Structure 1
Amino acid sequence: MRHSADREASAPSPHQLGDAKTIKTLLPYVLKYPLRVALAMSCLILAKVSNIGIPIILKHLIDDLSFAPNDPKRYLIFPLSLIFAYGLLRLASSVFTELREFLFAKVTQNAIRQIAIEVFQHLHAMSLRFHLGRQTGGVSRDIDRGSRGIQSLISYSLYSIVPTCIEFLIVLIYLGWNYDWVFAGITFVAIAFYILFTVKITEWRTKYRRKMNEMDTSANQKAIDSLLNFETVKYFGNEAFETRRYDTFLVSYQAAAIKSQKSLAVLNIGQQCIIVTGLIAILWRAVVGVEDGRLTLGDLVLINTLMIQLYIPLNFLGVIYREIKQALIDMGNMFGILSKNKEVEDIQDAKALQLHNPALGPNVVFNDVYFSYESNRAILKGVSFEIKAGTTTAVVGHSGSGKSTLSRLLFRFYDIQSGKITIDGQDISQYQQSSLRKLIGIVPQDTVLFNDTIGYNITYGKPGASQEEVEMAARTAHIHDFIISLPDGYKTAVGERGLKLSGGEKQRVAIARTLLKNPALVIFDEATSALDSKTENAIQSEIDKLTVNRTSLVIAHRLSTVIHAEQILVMDDGKIVERGTHEELIQLQGKYAEIWHLQQKEAKDEEVN
């Protein structure tokens, strides 16, 4: 019998769980509904008993119809009851099978939903380091395959393997009890040899399946990466290069797929040889029994029907075994994501951060903070400063000096190596991350928007906000007029990563989103870097209003945007080298004054040009 082509599968990842641990992880989700599981298993057994009862009734029907030509019984309607019994058993087999699926559907779907939610939550709980290093295509494929793997494992095991095993045991017992143990022996040996052959050949084929999967996953990752960076591809005219690179993996996939298909043919031929040999042996035994008078024609039909009934599901054992193994691999990959260390975790029984004066904002302190992304490269080297409640502190310096790292540490995307960061005297490492991030708002340098509407992206700062609140935030960010000029207004789609909007438009959406959140602590990380001078000046005035009587951290490159800050920190090589007000730093004639004079000269040159 020819089987359909193998479906795609995932290769084991470094974090993949073993088969036994995967099943152990899955069981609590399945056993969440013990009554449904018990009823489904009962229906499964009753369906198989009914299914085996069908050829038994057929045997009696054939024997009862074997009358002599002049036998008066041939005119009786005695077999009518057997006909009705035959029909009822067929109906019962179908009904119990459907009931089994009806009862177990909720168990399966609930397990898939709960696990998918946990994986999704765990991914969002992972540190920024994990997300910067992950392959989006590979992770999404692991989750998709893992979810389908749960469905496949339950489907194939509960609906194929378990019913076949139950039917196999019942047939062996019936043959040994009603006939002789030679029938049972032939059946047992044939099926045992069949299973052994199938498992061995399938294991041999696994290397081709894994190679196929590796190439499939690699091709998928490269394709997604290429499509996400389509602008860069077009800028350099590398469409043909990307196609060749993608095709490299497809060629390897094709070669492995051909070998897999050839090995499948070997498996199928071997299986049929074993099945035919077993059928010939048991039918020969039955025919001899009929000739000796020990068996009737009904017995011959019964034995043949039982064997065919038993061998039909075995025809697909190779496919089923492979699918179960693959489902376990897919689930192991997905559960492996759950086993990955979050890196940044709340301590046990962590409490929510509480502000002393929410209306004014918190007091923020960095106390001798040392931090590095990699052990061999320090980013912050003993940084200490305080942002008093209700004041604005600006951080300036050259690229790579560690400015943006301060905002990441405030959000606790990473844990510091030493030192302490406190908000209103509370060490942020000892409190819930969710409560910390709830009170902070940020306008990042690089704004990435959801592939949804402008309205949705602004509302993301405060889910459930009214349209009036959204429009007010948009007006403050000087983007409302632009939005209403669009044909679809606030329902205008922004595209993948917001690419349908210009850099300045995306930045203004980000500002509106933060304004809507109305956080106690506001961080502006190069918030106006993508804006033209006119729009920058307009928005800067609104930002200045927003920071009045509110704790604010402004990370900036252009010093003209921070001259009104109560405190300006100048960073260089991970250290604070100067601090003070704008006037104090100018009088100091240090690094700040040097940058200021340079930028003033550049601004004058631009005006002349």
Structure 2
Amino acid sequence: MKNKEVSMLNMFRYVFSSVLKSRVLLIVNVLALILITAFQFVMPQFTQYIIDKVIPRSDYHLLFQTIILLLAAAIILGLLNYFSTYYMGVMSQNAITRLRNSLYDHIINQDTYFFESRKTGDLMVRLTSDINNLQSLISPNMLSMIGNMFTFVGVLVFIVFVNWQMALAVSLTFPLMFVIYRVFRNRIRTSFMNARAAQSKMSNQMQNTLTRIELIKGYTAEKTEQKRFSDYANENRDYTINATWNQAVFSPLIDFVNYLGTAIILALGAYFVIKKDLTIGQLVAYLSYVALLQSPIQSFTRLLNQLQQSLVSYGRITDILKVKPQITTDSAAVAFPQFSSQIAFEHVNFTYPAKSSNAKNLVAISDVSFDISYGQTVALVGHSGAGKSTVVKLLDRLYDADSGVISFDGIPINDIDLTSLRQNIAIVSQDVDLVDGTIKDNITYGSANATDAEIQHVAELADITDFVTPLPDGFDTQVDERGMRLSGGQKQRIAIARALLKDAPIIILDEATSALDNESEKAIQHAMDNLIEDRTSLVIAHRLSTVHNANTILAMDHGAIIERGTHDELIAKNGYYRQLYDAQFE
């Protein structure tokens, strides 16, 4: 179904809402365009004057004066075009930067489900290429259309005054132009829409290739990935060629109509000159004015390609802008409490929304109730898919529970300011996210004001000084965003140092050691002990050897807690936990 919100009018409103924030530049540009229009209108008068007045008189002095005035007007026109082009460029860059920043802010504040249901490459295309396409709407060529509109109206009035019969005749070509435009507009727009979708597929494929290159190499899947990318590239090529074909047919048709208008003026003009109703100078000037009259239409048809691409991009951007985050802070929300009592889950249920209309909703946890007392450690264990990580997401309010209550010191989680909540929870997960920068940048991520002494202190607690100190650049050593220069244990200890620097009262370890070998796990156990010391912690563990000392162990299966107790109590019960434990140590 066609989105009624995606129209030329709405697109221009969206873009120029940003332009209007630079009102001074806009006013300067509009004034420049008006002056340019005025000088363009004056230029043919010099030609007419020379032909009708100067040549018949054979007055060389008057000819010299007229030429000097013509050159002076040309210089002024050139300066006006220079200033207009430059300041339009400045205004354009400012407006597009504001739109791009606004779209980025909108995206980054979306819910977790938004990012799980969207392809990264597609979002990147919308932030870059689609925004760039909108820039054409405030380019010097596009904004010159404002001046062309003044020209069109002024010239049309003038040629009607000079000879209304010729003005009427040339005006008959305008409806023909409009019909041609209407026919080709939708064809070109559809082709560019399909080409843009194919470009998103290419971007997604490239992003997937770069992030899983080791998997591709390990399974010698290069040819498979090459074919997939080639298919998307060919699809993009075919749609672009189709749009180009339509444009290639469209432009000559418009040019022919313009030549038709010129032919009409030449025929009628010659007739009126022969009848002495029009001078030769007036005919030459009239032809120049008709060219000025056709210029806005020619400019618009040349910009049709850009307009249709921009409209497609605007539709893709509005598709993002109309998405509103569901996880928000209520206006009456309070700050996170001075945590001193407990975290409580009371009959909490949650089902993941389906990612498509054909998929079914996935029940993640059902009637989960437990509490974590201040300063205590609670461990969640169970098979993959049991619901452990869902508990973490609900605790950090990446999702809202369908029913039940999650509270901190008796305050429901939805009544707590979202930023304040997350500032008081530190998570160390199995997959460590590193930023492209130095080791210091990664430790201080989210704590930019940390001192060197604080960084050194948490580094010692996280046991990372032993591998950082020998490095030539120490904490200023560069690592890429995937941490390929670091071992798994080193990345985990950097994540622990980051959490220590955050100094949150609540710590979540989400299978933080499951990807490490036994030796690496033992090496960072001391760092993890330092992290959870004197803090309230929730530990999700695949390896049951890491949860022996937890105050309470919760065994989960199919989204429900089926056993709870200490390690010794659960072993003695000889139930589900005992089966998990024995299976790991057989």
Question: 1:78 is paired with a residue of what secondary structure?
Answer: helix
Q: Which of 446, 450, 454 in structure 2 is aligned with 1:469?
A: 454
Supply the distance in 2 between the matched residues of 1:545 and 1:270 (Cα, whole angstroms).
76
Residues 36 and 314 (structure 1 numbering): CA distance in 2 closer, same or farther, change over 3 Å?
A: same
Residues 39 and 257 (structure 1 numbering): CA distance in 2 closer, same or farther, change over 3 Å?
A: closer
Q: Which of 77, 82, 89 in structure 1 is aligned with 2:66?
A: 82
Alpha carbon RMSD of aligned pairs, Å? 2.7
Matches within 5 A, 1:553-572: 553-572=538-557
Matches within 5 A, 1:131-146: 131-146=115-130
Q: Which residue of 1 aligns with 2:427?
A: 442
Supply the distance in 2 between the matched residues of 1:165 and 1:191 (Cα, whole angstroms).
14
Residues 259 and 550 (structure 1 numbering): CA distance in 2 closer, same or farther, change over 3 Å?
A: closer
Q: Which residue of 1 aligns with 2:349?
A: 370
Supply the distance in 1 between the matched residues of 2:4 and 2:574 (Cα, whole angstroms).
55
Q: Which residue of 2 aligns with 1:233?
A: 216
Residues 339 and 124 (structure 1 numbering): CA distance in 2 closer, same or farther, change over 3 Å?
A: same
| 2:341 counterpart of 1:356 | no
Q: Which residue of 2 aligns with 1:5?
A: none
1:235 shift after superposition: 1.5
Asked whether the 8 Å contact 1:58–1:302 carries over to 2, the reply is yes
Q: Which residue of 1 aligns with 2:368?
A: 383
Residues 184 and 65 (structure 1 numbering): CA distance in 2 closer, same or farther, change over 3 Å?
A: same
Supply the distance in 1 between the matched residues of 2:484 and 2:47 (Cα, whole angstroms).
70
Supply the distance in 2 between the matched residues of 1:401 and 1:16 (Cα, whole angstroms).
43
1:368 shift after superposition: 1.0
TM-score, normalised on structure 2?
0.91
The one-letter code of the counterpart of 1:319 is R
Supply the distance in 2 between the matched residues of 1:373 and 1:191 (Cα, whole angstroms).
57
1:107 shift after superposition: 4.3
1:13 shift after superposition: 9.9
Residues 254 and 541 (structure 1 numbering): CA distance in 2 closer, same or farther, change over 3 Å?
A: closer
Residues 122 and 255 (structure 1 numbering): CA distance in 2 closer, same or farther, change over 3 Å?
A: closer
Question: 2:56 is paired with a residue of what secondary structure?
Answer: coil
The one-letter code of the counterpart of 2:109 is A
The one-letter code of the counterpart of 2:195 is M
Matches within 5 A, 1:82-101: 82-101=66-85
Residues 377 and 317 (structure 1 numbering): CA distance in 2 closer, same or farther, change over 3 Å?
A: closer
1:443 shift after superposition: 0.4
1:80 shift after superposition: 4.6
1:442 shift after superposition: 0.6
Q: Which residue of 2 aligns with 1:46?
A: 35
Asked whether the 8 Å contact 2:198–2:236 carries over to 1, the reply is yes
Q: Deviations over 1:455-490 (max 9, x none)?
A: 222221412323333333233222222233334433
Q: Which residue of 1 aligns with 2:356?
A: none
Supply the distance in 2 between the matched residues of 1:569 and 1:202 (Cα, whole angstroms).
63
Asked whether the 8 Å contact 1:395–1:553 carries over to 2, the reply is yes
Asked whether the 8 Å contact 2:555–2:563 carries over to 1, the reply is yes
Q: Percent identity?
A: 31
1:350 shift after superposition: 4.1
Q: Which residue of 1 aligns with 2:498?
A: 513
1:185 shift after superposition: 1.6
Asked whether the 8 Å contact 2:459–2:497 carries over to 1, the reply is yes
Supply the distance in 1 between the matched residues of 2:179 and 2:497 (Cα, whole angstroms).
66
Supply the distance in 2 between the matched residues of 1:154 and 1:352 (Cα, whole angstroms).
44
Q: Which residue of 2 aligns with 1:251?
A: 234
1:394 shift after superposition: 1.6
Q: Which residue of 2 aligns with 1:63?
A: 52
Matches within 5 A, 1:150-169: 150-155=134-139, 158-169=142-153
Matches within 5 A, 1:473-512: 473-512=458-497
Asked whether the 8 Å contact 2:122–2:200 carries over to 1, the reply is yes
Q: Deviations over 1:10-68 (max 9, x none)?
A: xx998984444333333432323445434432322221111111111332233332235
Question: 2:362 is paired with a residue of what secondary structure?
Answer: coil
Residues 493 and 526 (structure 1 numbering): CA distance in 2 closer, same or farther, change over 3 Å?
A: same
Q: Deviations over 1:505-540 (max 9, x none)?
A: 222221121112111111111222233434423422
Q: Which of 312, 319, 324 in structure 1 is aligned with 2:307?
A: 324
How many residues end up aligned between the 2 structures? 580
Asked whether the 8 Å contact 1:507–1:530 carries over to 2, the reply is no
The one-letter code of the counterpart of 1:229 is R
Residues 169 and 196 (structure 1 numbering): CA distance in 2 closer, same or farther, change over 3 Å?
A: farther
Matches within 5 A, 1:14-29: 17-29=6-18
1:551 shift after superposition: 1.2
Question: 1:51 is paired with a residue of what secondary structure?
Answer: helix
Q: Which residue of 1 aligns with 2:102?
A: 118
Q: Which of 300, 320, 325 in structure 2 is aligned with 1:342?
A: 325
Asked whether the 8 Å contact 2:134–2:314 carries over to 1, the reply is yes
The one-letter code of the counterpart of 2:350 is F
Asked whether the 8 Å contact 2:380–2:388 carries over to 1, the reply is yes
Question: 1:369 is paired with a residue of what secondary structure?
Answer: strand
Could you tell which deviates more after superposition, 324-333 or 215-224? 215-224
Residues 588 and 253 (structure 1 numbering): CA distance in 2 closer, same or farther, change over 3 Å?
A: closer
Could you tell which deviates more after superposition, 43-52 or 161-170? 161-170
Question: 1:260 is paired with a residue of what secondary structure?
Answer: helix
Supply the distance in 1 between the matched residues of 2:3 and 2:454 (Cα, whole angstroms).
47
Asked whether the 8 Å contact 1:15–1:336 carries over to 2, the reply is no
1:409 shift after superposition: 0.6
Supply the distance in 1 between the matched residues of 2:33 and 2:184 (Cα, whole angstroms).
29
Q: Deviations over 1:152-202 (max 9, x none)?
A: 11227742432222211111111112x111222233223442343234234
1:441 shift after superposition: 0.4
The one-letter code of the counterpart of 1:30 is V
Supply the distance in 2 between the matched residues of 1:13 and 1:563 (Cα, whole angstroms).
59
1:102 shift after superposition: 5.0
Matches within 5 A, 1:544-559: 544-559=529-544
Could you tell which deviates more after superposition, 361-370 or 313-322? 313-322
Could you tell which deviates more after superposition, 33-42 or 501-510? 33-42
Q: Which residue of 1 aligns with 2:357?
A: none
Q: Which residue of 2 aligns with 1:6?
A: none
The one-letter code of the counterpart of 2:15 is L
Supply the distance in 2 between the matched residues of 1:246 and 1:534 (Cα, whole angstroms).
41
Residues 398 and 13 (structure 1 numbering): CA distance in 2 closer, same or farther, change over 3 Å?
A: farther
Q: Which residue of 1 aligns with 2:154?
A: 170
Question: 2:337 is paired with a residue of what secondary structure?
Answer: coil
Supply the distance in 2 between the matched residues of 1:432 and 1:40 (Cα, whole angstroms).
45
1:344 shift after superposition: 1.8
